[in-house]
Structure 1
Amino acid sequence: MAMHYGETSTTIDPASGMTSTFSGFQSTLGGLKSTVGGMQSTLGGLMTPGWKSGIQSGVASKDLDLTKIGTARNKIMDMKLVQVSDSITGQTVVDPKGYLTDLNSMIPKYGGDINDIKKARKLLESVRQTNPKHPPAWIASASLEETVGKLQLARNLIMEGCEKNPKSEDLWLHAIRIHPPESAKTIVTNAVRAIPHSVRIWLKAADIEQDKKAKRRVFRKALEQIPTSVRLWKAAIELEEPEEARILLTRAVECCSTSTELWLALARLETYENARKVLNKAREHIPTDRQIWLSAARLEETRGQKETVDKIVERSLAVLRANMVEINRDHWLKDAIDAEQSGCPMTSKAIIKHVIGIAIEDQDKKATWLDDAKSFESQGATECARAVFEHMIDEMPQRQSVWREAAAFEKKYGTVDNYESLLKRGCETVPHAEELWLRHAKSRWLNEDVTGAREILSQAFVHNPNSEQIWMAAVKLESENNEFNRARRLLEKARTAAPSARLWMKSAHLEWCLGKLDAAKKLLQDGLMRYEDCSKLYMMLGQIYTQEDNYEEARKTFASGVRHCPAAIPLWILLSRLEESQNNATKARSDLDKARLRNPKNPELWLESIRLERRQGLDPQASEKMARALQECQKSGILWSEYVNMSGPHERRRISIDAIRNCEHDPHVLLVSARLLWAERKVKKAREWLERVVKVDTDFGDGWANLYKFEQLHGTEEQIAKVVQKCVEAEPRHGELWQSIAKNVDNWRKRTEEVLKMAAGNITIPT
């Protein structure tokens, strides 16, 4: 049937009221076309009065009732106000200043399917109806409504749950959380009436109070109801000043006599005498807690009672064992660290003294205790580590390795006096320990007490008359102090008393450094008559002949050396370089080939062969030999680093990756990789890699020199000084560049710092 504009078709009787102004599907206030928010409402929908003016549902009328429209508007406003009003009369939850911001917070945060929400809502409703005494159902229902943004419905549900389950702590706490502060206070009041012995509710009651005095009042009431709650006492005490806190704690320990924490807190606030009484009472009530005993030990330490501290710790272990308490070694050692960090080193030492040996087999003691000392050191507990070493010395006084470890620790963390005192004790206890005598003498010498160093070495000679090490130290001491005649006499005595190839070599080296070449040659020749298999004697004699330009004698010496010492690689290299210096590259190449036949798979010989070809300008032959060398010595770091250096700039990165893959921890490979990063001006990464080089091998002098050069260009004064300090401590001895400077006779008196700076001066900046 066709419909025309201005007509209405309905089967509903107009007299029934379903088409009236206030009811029905097309009414002003209700239904899908209501003014409250329908899509076709009178005031804001698609079918507004202006669009359908003059059209009535079922009754045609040309009059518009403005009075009824005004009444409807007032009712709508009342409904809005009811929705946003609080349950407390006269209070509103609408913040006029933050109204728009608050509206954003009311937007539902749930992003799932609306059907899932409906299903969950029905399911939870069914659970509530089936078992209204089940608090989790009410909490889940409220949480669901809160999630979808229907906060008021969530509040209504949770309060209904509280009415049905007044003894549920979780329900009350959830209700307090989702209500505004003023409403929450009322809920808290009802909650503590319903569950007066709930600690969590009392804590929440105090938490929602803003004023300190109000919080105190809440805690006072709470403690009247639950005087045995440690949590309530602690929370109440935290609000008080020291004097009031002390009074509260006095009452607290009466009510909670088994709380160690409260007893210790009271002891901390008392005077020394009263604190002792408090701790004694605490031990009576809690005889199984070690913390009370340790607090008593710390208390005595504050008064300087060292012996009392030791007795308390010893007695505590006996009492705890008597009360069947397991002595957990790890826990006690952790207590020792805590004691040191709190400024009680006596207590920490006493703990270690009496606990360190628990549950350790005799054969495992040394290894376990050294691990303990390292663990303490890594955690910054140096007093604990020192106590471990002292205990080890008491238990193993004849073990030289224990004295060495203790001395190394004391040198790193102690004073000079403590270090030397320990070494003196060690020398007296283990007089045949040469290293302890040498360290003691060196310490005296470094502190510019040459006389003291001489006396120590004299005592060392008494106990170790034939010690080559002590003879060498005495010679070095005299030569470093320009007492060359005394050094000569000492060496002469040593060659008679304890002859060795090293002493002949040292004697010749002294004369060589002093420019007495004839005397040096005579000593070396005499030495070779006694020790013809000592390669270093041949090397020194040949180098002196080379220095005198006596190349024929030098050649004979080196040739004789490789005959007697065919495994001495430096001798072969010296012989080859001598031939090369005389423009006889063919003979030099032949010597190296012969050396490789007698010493296969030797990377140093391959490296020299490759460099010989490069110095002759024969790069293809050098590359061919490099390929053969890497096949034979695949894990050689010096060969891989040379391969990187001789390659083109576009290939270096690829080759360096292969080098790292084959020699991950080799300092030469790490150094060449660091220099590549340095060339690319990646300062941070280059520094990390250079530091890694000297960490992997502290004895690698070339690594230290490169790091020093790098910090000179890119570091601060502090960073430069740090490198120097660490290098001096490490005393490096190896590295091609480092040895070329350190072993040069012109630099024989240079110290580590000077060699470092000279080596750095010879380093080119990578490009």
Structure 2
Amino acid sequence: MAANPKANKLAFLSMPAPASYVAGLGRGASGFTTRSDIGPAREGPSAEAIAEAQARRGEDGEIDTEAFQDPDNEMGLFAGGVYEADDEEADKIYDSVDRAMDLRRKARREAREAEEAKAVRAQRPKIQQQFSDLKRALSSVTDEQWENIPEVGNLTKKRKVRDFGRTFAVPDSVIVGDRDRGVMETSLDERQQSYGGFETPADDGGLTDLVEMGHARDKVLSLKLDQLSGTSSISGSASSIDPKGYLTDLNSVILKSEAEIGDIKRARMLFDSLVKSNPKHAPGWIAAACVEEHAGRMVAARKLIKAGCEHCPKSEDVWLEAARLHNTADAKVILASAVQHVGQSVKVWLAAANLESEIKAKKRVLRKALEMIPNSVRLWKETVNLETEPADARVLLSRAVEVIPQSVELWLALARLETPQKAKGVLNKARKAIPTSHEIWIAAGRLLEQDAEAPEKTPEERAKELAVVDKTIEAGVKELRKHQVMLTREQWFKEAEKCELEGSVRTCEAIVKATAGMDVEEEDRLGTWMEDAEGAEGRGRVGTARAVIAFALRVFPDRRALWRRAADLEKAHGTRESLEAILSRAVHHCPQAEVLWLMWAKEKWLGGDVPGARDVLARAFETNPESEAIWLAAVKLEAENGELSVARELLVRARTIANTERIWMKSAVFERQQSQLSEALETLSTAIKSFPKFPKFYMIQGQIHQQQNNFAAARASFAAGIKACPKEVTLWILAARLEEKDGKSIKARALLEKARLVNPTNERLWAEAVGVEERSGAPAQAKTVLARALQECSSSGLLWSMAIWAEPRPTRKSRSTDALTKSENHPLVICAVARLFWAERKIEKARQWFARAVGSEVGADIGDVWAWWMKFERQHGTGVFKWMC
């Protein structure tokens, strides 16, 4: 019978729970156990029971871990072992190995310790080592010097304190002697009178001649001087002492301090050790000799360098140093010995040649050197430089290029000495000998240019030969590329600038023409060439810049900016003829460029060619009939030259053809300048109908009415302008000034208030409001308005400059400091500070601040700053400043 499945399913309820079971753990309950879960605590087995159980199982007792701490202690490890003969023999072998290794390292260890001790002694020598040379010098002290050594006095304070305050009675002999100290005896005693005053009785009863004693003293002094000069007065040779320069020589003696003497001694010891340990080290001998030379011991220095020459005969530096330390005669002998050991040293031969004073002797030495070293370019150059005749130099250079065919310098020097026809042959040979040299190709181009510039050549011949220069340089660039000589554009441009500097302008242009397009992307060509031209011009190489722009114009003949750059370059560095030539070509390629036409016409006008300027403008009209700038330039030309009717006709035609605001404005201004006010007003009325949003029409109209004292019409003009152009600040200001001039300051204030509502945070309107209050005689109100203005326009330079002058004199400096900070060094504030210095008579400071004010781009465009500076220079300027103003 099958069991009940439901009863089997619930059978776990009667089963005991697992040992780790925790009720509710799966639902987040935290498990814990209590004493009731694990039962009561029981005491563990005793130590005796544990030991008995281990004995039954055959286990050892507890192991002592302390026995294994020391690896050299084998009592714990092998306490139960037996020490046999094999163990003893092994220990003896290990001991012998340890002793052998210790002996092996002993010599190395002792050497290292000795070196360390030596280094320590070198840095901190013992007292006896520092004074060893002084001890050795004591052997030369004489008995008399020993006897003259003063006794050591009492240096303690005890005796001084004890003797302080003690008095002694002065003997009468001291008082009498002190009395007679300054007395001069003018009489002779009897014995002196009997001997004539020049002889005294000697101790032996004879006479002592004082005159003879003086002569003997002079003779001894002369003998000492002769010994110092190295000559003898007995032999009759003259003394070599310079009496005038003797004191100067004494002044040139260098007195060394104790520190320097100590340094010299240490350096002497170090270098002495160096040359003894390594006598074949030439720099050590040179340094040791230099130390002695610095110490003033030339004899020791010469001995050291002589020893250096003996130990290092193959070092040219030692021989050269030895020659330097000796006089000329000895140096010749030294260098003669040097060439026996280092005959291939160019420096030694050149030093020997420099020692010779005669040209013939120098030539002889150098030619002997060339026999030993025929492949030295420097020796050949020095030999050629000594020749005064070109023929002799040409012969030497011919031989030099045969011996050293790879020297570019020698080939070029030979080409310069030859005639133009022979020079071409020399350069052809050089090109074949050195196909990788670009200098030869450049020299060939310069030679062709020089030949073409000969005065007897006609212009056609000159042009044809100059064209050969371009072909030569171009062929040279291609040939160099074949031989894998890849010079960069920058290197070629440097060569071009070098040619320009040396006067070969045509060769410079040929180099630029042949290499300007190298390594330049097609889209970057124009910008790259413009940068090249600007860089060359900045370095003062105008010819190179001109050549770069000319090459760029061949590639981009229709670029207005490029033609403008070429015109500016000619205007700055060229002549008027060259500038006009550039501009004529420019307008041919860019006929729509108004600026180029105007520049050409202006240059014609400045050159005094007024008909030529008219012709240029007429041609400009043909290509630009509606150009406002060309019409106005034509009007200005006629008006400046007195052709007023022609100018008026041109303006009428311009208004018909061009019909722009500026032309109408210039027409009204022209009539106003000619005092034709009615025609001007009529022109303005017509213009306002066509262009009602142009504010200058209303300004000019209102000013003309104001000039005629027609305030109502002027007020109407300004009102119409404000209505049409409410954002034009100048119209508001002109309207306010009109009311102020009419005596209606209240209305002016109202206008400015309304203007500030339409144009908030405008510094000009606030400045005008301050000016209205000042002109009305209300400085307190003006200061209040200025304070409000600074709150609204906190960084305005115009308002801050006004705030400086609104302050009393003592507080203006502090106010100017705040103004500079708040306005971020605005030019108007800087100008105000300059005026403060001007008021304090600080002229140089004021000039510096005026220059600083116009130094920025913003300051350069402010006319007030320039006006104040001009006034300052007219009053205080001298020289160029006054002339400029």
Same fold (TM over 0.5): yes
Following TM superposition, by how much is the alpha carbon of 1:317 offset from its aligned partner in structure 2, in angstroms?
0.8
Contact 1:645 1:652 in 2 (8 A): yes
Deviates more, 1:658-667 or 1:565-574: 658-667
Give per-residue Cα distances to partners, 1:289-315, cap 9 Å, x unaligned. Answer: 212111111111112221111111111
Partner of 2:388: 241
- Of 624, 644, 668, which aligns to 1:508? 668
How far has the Cα of 1:452 moved from its partner? 2.6
Are the equivalent residues in 1 in contact too, given 2:601–2:614 (CA < 8 A)? yes
Q: Tell whether 2:526 aligns with 1:372.
A: no
> How far apart, in 1, do the equivalents of 2:729 and 2:557 lie?
43
Q: Which residue of 1 aligns with 2:45?
A: none
Give the letter aligned to residue 226 of structure 1. I
**Which one of the candidate residues 130, 136, 142 is aligned to 2:277?**
130
Contact 1:528/1:534, CA 8 A, preserved across alignment? yes
| The 10-residue stretch of structure 1 (471-480 or 389-398) with the greater mean CA deviation from structure 2 | 471-480
CA deviations on 1:364-391 (whole Å, 9 max, x unpaired) are 2222222222222222222222222222
TM-fit CA distance, 1:538: 0.8
RMSD: 3.4
Q: TM-score, normalised by structure 1?
A: 0.78
Q: Deviations for 1:217-264, whole angstroms, at most 9, x for unmatched residues?
A: 221221121111112222222222142333322222222222222222
Measure the CA separation in 2 of the matches of 1:166 and 1:82: 36
Is the 8 Å Cα contact of residues 109 and 147 (structure 1) preserved in structure 2? no
Structure 2 equivalent of residue 431 of structure 1: 591
Looking at structure 2, the residues matched to 632 and 537 of structure 1 have their Cα atoms a distance apart, in angstroms, of: 31
Q: Tell me which moved more, 457-466 or 311-320.
A: 457-466
Q: Which residue of 1 aligns with 2:625?
A: 465
**1:163 and 2:163 correspond:** no
Find the counterpart in structure 2 of residue 294 from structure 1.
Answer: 442
The aligned counterpart of 1:384 is 544
Matched-pair contact (CA < 8 Å) for 1:33–1:41: no
- After TM superposition, the structure 1 stretch with the greater mean CA deviation from structure 2, 466-475 or 696-705, is 696-705
Q: 1:383 and 1:465 mapped to 2: Cα distance?
A: 37
Distance apart, 1:131 and its partner CA: 1.4
Q: Bigger CA drift: 711-720 or 617-626?
A: 711-720
Residues 1:418 and 2:578 are matched in the alignment: yes
DSSP 3-state at the match of 2:566: helix
1:42-191 correspondence runs (5 A): 42=144, 46=148, 101-102=248-249, 107=254, 109=256, 112=259, 114-191=261-338
Q: Aligned in 2, Cα 1:409/1:228: closer, same or farther, shift over 3 Å? A: same
2:441·2:473 contact (CA, 8 Å) conserved in 1?
Answer: yes
* 1:583, distance to aligned residue in structure 2 (A): 2.3
Distance change in 2, residues 1:262/1:516 (3 Å): same
How far does the alpha carbon of each residue in 1:630-680 deviate from its partner, in whole angstroms, 9 at most, with x for none? 454455443344444444555555555555566678554454455455555
Q: How has the CA–CA distance of structure 1 residues 619 and 337 changed in structure 2, closer, same or farther, with 3 Å as cutoff?
A: farther
Distance across 2 between alignment mates of 1:41 and 1:363: 99
Displacement of 1:700 after TM fit? 4.7
Q: Aligned ranges for residues 479-518 of structure 1 at < 5 Å?
A: 479-518=639-678
Cα distance, 1:447 vs structure 2: 3.0
- Whole-Å separation in 2 of the counterparts to 1:31 and 1:454: 105
Contact 1:665–1:696 under 8 Å retained in 2? no
1:482-631 alignment runs, 5 A limit: 482-631=642-791
Q: CA separation of 1:33/1:165 partners in 2, compared to 1, >3 Å: closer, same or farther? A: closer
Spell out, residue by residue over 1:14-62, the C-alpha distance to the aligned partner (whole angstroms, 9 max, x if none): xxxxxxxxxxxxxxxx98776x5x3x652697159xxxxxxxxxxxxxx
Match of 1:274 in 2: 422
Deviation track 1:88-118 (CA, whole Å, cap 9, x = no partner) reads xx99998565566556656464763645444
Question: In structure 2, what residue type is equivalent to 1:264?
Answer: L
Q: Distance in 2 between matches of 1:627 and 1:239?
A: 84
Contact 2:489 2:516 in 1 (8 A): yes
Q: Within 5 A, what are the aligned runs for 1:20-39?
A: 38=141
| Superposed displacement of residue 468, structure 1 | 1.7
Question: How far did residue 570 of structure 1 move?
Answer: 1.0
In the other structure, the counterpart of 2:108 is none
CA gap of 1:499–1:326, structure 2 versus 1, over 3 A, is: same
Which residues of structure 2 form unaligned runs of 5+? Answer: 1-134, 151-222, 453-464
Partner amino acid for 1:161? G
Sort the Cα spacing of 1:227 and 1:135 in 2 relative to 1 into closer, same or farther, 3 A. same
Distance apart, 1:208 and its partner CA: 2.5
Deviation at 1:134, TM superposition (A): 1.2
Relative to structure 1, the CA distance from residue 267 to residue 523 in structure 2 (aligned partners, 3 Å threshold; closer, same or farther) is same
Paired letter, 1:141: A
Once the two structures are TM-superposed, the CA of residue 396 in structure 1 deviates from its matched residue by 1.1
Question: Structure 1 residue 189: deviation in Å?
Answer: 1.6
- Cα 1:692–1:370 change in 2 (3 A) is farther
Contact 1:106 1:149 survives alignment (8 Å): no
Hey, what's the Cα distance between the residues in 1 that align with 2:311 and 2:831?
A: 76
Q: Distance in 2 between matches of 1:649 and 1:246?
A: 82
Does 661-670 or 522-531 show the bigger shift?
A: 661-670
Q: In 2, distance between residues paired with 1:672 and 1:259?
A: 68
Closer, same or farther: CA 152–84 of 1 in aligned 2, 3 Å: farther
Paired with 1:403 and 1:665, the residues of 2 have a C-alpha distance of 38
Number of matched pairs: 660
The TM-score normalised by the length of structure 2 is 0.68
Structure 1 residues 190 and 500: alpha-carbon distance in aligned structure 2, compared to 1, 3 A threshold = same
User: Relative CO higher for 1 or 2, CA cutoff 8 Å, sep ≥ 6?
Assistant: 1
Q: Percent identity?
A: 45
Cα distance in structure 1, aligned partners of 2:822 and 2:476: 57
Alpha-carbon distance, 1:147 to partner: 2.5
Instruction: Report the AA paired with residue 177 of structure 1.
Output: R
Report the alpha carbon displacement of residue 324 of structure 1 after superposing the two structures with TM: 0.8
SS in 2 for 1:303: helix
Structure 1 unpaired stretches of 5+: 1-29, 49-77, 724-759, 761-767
Query: 2: CA distance between counterparts of 1:129 and 1:33?
Result: 27
Tell me if the contact between 2:795 and 2:824 (Cα under 8 Å) persists in the aligned partners. no
Q: CA deviation at 1:716?
A: 6.3
Residue 193 (str. 1) matches residue 295 (str. 2)? no
Q: Deviations over 1:333-370 (max 9, x none)?
A: 12222222222111111111122222222232222222
User: Using a 3 Å threshold, how does the CA distance of structure 1 residues 282 and 479 change in structure 2: closer, same or farther?
Assistant: same
Aligned equivalents of 1:572, 1:109: Cα separation in 2: 85
Change beyond 3 A, Cα 1:650–1:206 = farther
1:301 and 1:344 in contact (8 A); partners too: yes
Q: Give the counterpart letter for 1:506 in structure 2.
A: K
Is this contact kept in 2: 1:110–1:147, CA < 8 A? Answer: no
State how far apart, in whole Å, the 2-side matches of 1:177 and 1:510 are. 87
